[in-house]
Structure 1
Amino acid sequence: MSLAIIMPGRNGEGLAERLKALDGGLDIQIWPDIERPEAVEFALCWQPPQGVLGDFPALKVVQSLGAGVDGLTEAIPLGVTLCRTVSPSLKTDMRDYVLLAILAEQRQWDAMAADQAQGHWQPRHYRRGGVVGIMGLGELGQAVAAGLAGLGFQLKGWSRTLKRLPAMETFHGPEQLEDFLADLDYLICLLPLTDQTRGLMDSGFFAKLGKPCYLIQAGRGPQLVEADLRSALDQGLLRGACLDVFDVEPLPPSSPLWQHPRVRITPHCASVTSGKELAKAVYHNYLAMCQGLALDQVVDPEQGY
């Protein structure tokens, strides 16, 4: 019985060492140096090469390195269980990233940084509170909502199906999207990438906004039509945007988003599972598989999350 690590461009050896520290008897193989594919029953993956999972005839479980599983759902062989990784730090880091983005926009931090570069003393007015809409009410969305709840914000949430959460007005489904968007000051996207959310934020979506708001996109890049975002900014439908994920990553140097005066760009770093927590989550599910117990964070392949 073997555990395979398949994460091109990342430090598979470092993760293997952390797993070995938990259990020195683990049989770990790191792609592309898989010498015994027939022994692999558990695979930890991040952007695996196309078709590689089909090389393991005894494969039972695939676990994503992160909370997202886009790029994996169609690659999973029939009968294999797919899991994702949602660690405590993933939730607190996302909460902090969203709060930082909101407060930086409220306090006009970018404008004051530009003033400093010019040696210009200019006190600026700033916003307080406001209506914050969160798209995606899974574990990350709920963690962000809990973090904002006591800070003077009015909270609204939107999800695929109905969810009732404390201190939040909730909406669900396409038929309630326009009502959700009606009065937002801040719009946060934490949705998973599915067929329904791909391209969701397009020109028609932005036209539904009741007033200019500030977008924080930390879901998945293909959910946002970048050309339509630029148009929405230029038309005044959005005040600005903080973007952590993109349709193409790394974001090409030629992208006009780099130079847009009302766009803040971060390199897909809003929330990252620590190596220690990742190893614990993987080892927990590996043991559960070996013992025939329930796995954590199992993904519904039809829903994509």
Structure 2
Amino acid sequence: MINVLFAALPERWVTYEAPLTKAFNDLGLDVDLRIDFAPHEVDYIVYAPNSPLQDFTPYTRCKAVLNLWAGVENIISNPTLTQPLARMVDHGLSQGMREWVTGHALRHHLGMDLHIKGQDGEWRDYVPPLADDRRVTVLGLGELGMACAKALHGLGFPVTGWSRTQKEAEGITCLCGEEGLGKALSTADILVLLLPNTAATENLIDADALAAMPKGAFLINPGRGPLIDDEALLAALDTGQIAHATLDVFRVEPLPVDHPFWAHPNVTVTPHIASETRPSSASQIVAENVRRSENGEPLRFLADRSAGY
């Protein structure tokens, strides 16, 4: 019998119990899945970083912590976490992010807000350029960033991607390093942020980075709130250096009602919905990692503590 502890907010247990049970059964795993094991009995922890469980010291038998979120920045530096930590990478997350990013990229590219918000009797004769002439930059070429870069390339946009280490993808200009970042920003008519939140990426999009972009560029952030210097972005929006920012993530969530982003006419706020973990597909990833561990195979999507994600 494999003892699996589900450690997340109580409302998540309601949505995950059945799909996790099915996923374990489908792989022929003999699993006891609960929310109330004694720590010394636990073999695996299915985990959300906002769980009350923050001290992993008593879980001496635990072989791995299997995260339900793509982001691990809120747990990876926990000094009590000595077990392997696996990130969540699944079809549902990738597909959801592709849909949200391409939808908002097309919205800005086509100038849809001009007509959606402008139903006032004025005939606005605006013809957008073709995608061939609108350059997109994606910062972050992990699973989600690469999925979005490929989708945007498929729509005809010239796509540049930037990452900490060199990546390769057909049809996409892949850059890395400080010099590569400057080049990536200089061609970002639309900038998509899909970097993790680390010490190296916090405030990466500051006044200098925004000034390096083409005037009138669009910014889309479904990655992490601290990637952006909020004050610098507001200043760039006020001058027209940035035409519009669509933001799904923030330093404080929910975004405080008095935050200037709410009132700014050139900011769109969405409530951290760009990509949500779907219980059915996420459960399959969790079950597969348990199966791999029990068979002596390496876990998939292990977090890199030295890199912070």
TM-score, reference length from structure 1: 0.91
1:201–1:224: 8 Å Cα contact kept in structure 2?
A: yes
Q: Are positions 1:135 and 2:136 aligned together?
A: no
Partner AA of 2:17 in structure 1? A
Deviations 1:198-244 (A, max 9, x none): 12112222122243310010111111121211111112221111111
* Deviates most, 202-211 or 126-135: 202-211
Equivalents in 2 of 1:140, 1:222: separation in Å?
18
For 1:93 and 1:35, the matched residues in 2 are separated by 33
Residue type at the aligned position of 2:44: F
Contact 1:288 1:294 in 2 (8 A): yes
Aligned to 1:114: 117
2:158 aligned with 1:157, yes or no? Answer: no
Q: Structure 1 pair 155/35, CA: closer, same or farther in 2 (3 Å)?
A: closer
Does the alignment pair 1:27 with 2:32? yes
Given residue 211 of structure 1, which amino acid in structure 2 is its aligned partner?
Answer: K
What are the within-5 Å matches in structure 2 for residues 141-220 of structure 1? 141-220=145-224
SS in 1 for 2:43: strand
Aligned residues: 301
CA distance in 1: counterparts of 2:240 and 2:101, whole angstroms: 22
The residue aligned with 1:224 is: 228
Counterpart in 2 of 1:39? 41
The whole-number CA distance in structure 2 between the counterparts of 1:59 and 1:200 is: 36
Q: Is the 8 A contact 1:65 1:84 kept in 2?
A: yes
CA contact under 8 A between 1:115 and 1:121: conserved in structure 2? Answer: no
> In structure 2, what is the equivalent of residue 17 of structure 1?
18
Higher relative contact order (CA 8 A, sep 6+): 2
Contact 1:76 1:82 in 2 (8 A): no
Classify the secondary structure of the residue corresponding to 2:118.
Answer: helix
Point out where structure 1 has 5 or more consecutive residues left out of the alignment: none
Moved more, 8-17 or 259-268: 8-17
**Shift in alpha-carbon separation, 1:194–1:288, aligned structure 2, 3 A:** same
Residue identity opposite 1:27 in structure 2: D
Task: Compute the displacement of 1:55 (Å).
Answer: 3.4
Secondary structure, counterpart of 2:268 in structure 1: strand
Distance in 1 of aligned mates of 2:214 and 2:15 = 48
1:115 maps to amino acid: G
- The within-5 A match list for 1:233-244 is 233-244=237-248
The Cα of 1:164 is off from its aligned counterpart by 2.4
Whether contact under 8 Å (1:73, 1:301) holds in the other structure is yes
Describe the superposition over 1:30-68 as per-residue Cα deviations: whole angstroms up to 9, x where unpaired.
2xxx34111112112222347332332222211211221
| Aligned position for 2:66 | 63
Alpha-carbon distance between aligned partners in 2 of 1:237 and 1:122, rounded to the nearest angstrom: 22
RMSD: 1.9
1:119 CA drift (Å): 5.8
What fraction of aligned residue pairs are identical, expressed as a percent? Answer: 33
Change (3 A) 1:279 1:205: same
Preserved CA contact (<8 Å) 1:60 1:79: no
SS in 1 for 2:89: coil
1:3 aligned residue: 4
Q: What is the identity, as a one-letter code, of the residue corresponding to 1:6? A: A
Pair 186,79 (structure 1): closer, same or farther in 2 beyond 3 Å: same
Shifted more, 123-132 versus 65-74: the winner is 123-132
Structure 2 Cα separation of the partners of residues 223 and 50 of structure 1: 27
Determine the C-alpha separation between the residues in 2 that align with 1:18 and 1:260: 41
1:260 positional shift: 1.0
Paired with 1:91 and 1:77, the residues of 2 have a C-alpha distance of 30
Rounded to whole Å, the distance in 1 between the matches of 2:227 and 2:122 is 39
- Which residue in the other structure is 2:108 paired with? 105
TM-score, with length taken from structure 2 = 0.90
SS in 2 for 1:231: helix
